[in-house]
């Protein structure tokens, strides 16, 4: 019983750490997709304006 009780705390800590890492990777992926999409929209809207200003 003592060995099992001694293992539960480190294992639960490891599980929480693993969940946090997985959650952060998901958030990172969503942020990366959002930044990429923003970059696409920004370039499609702003580039023609700058090209007209430059006369290209």
Q: Could you give the CA distance from residue 28 to residue 35 in angstroms, rounded to a whole number?
A: 10
Q: Could you give the CA distance from residue 8 to residue 1 in angstroms, rounded to a whole number?
A: 11
* pLDDT bracket for residue 3 (50, 70, 90): low
Q: Could you give the CA distance from residue 39 to residue 49 in angstroms, rounded to a whole number?
A: 15
What beta strand segments (E) does the chain contain?
Answer: none
pLDDT above 80 for 11: no
20/36: higher pLDDT: 36
**pLDDT given at position 48:** 81
**pLDDT given at position 50:** 78
Q: What is the pTM of this model?
A: 0.49
Question: What tokens appear for 15 in the block?
Answer: 């599980």
């Amino acid at each position: 019983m003592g060995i099992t009780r001694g293992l539960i705390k480190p294992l639960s800590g490891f599980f929480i750490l693993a969940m946090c890492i997985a959650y952060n990777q998901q958030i990172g992926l969503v942020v990366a997709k959002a930044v990429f999409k923003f970059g696409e929209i920004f370039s499609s809207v702003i580039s023609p304006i700058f090209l007209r200003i430059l006369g290209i």
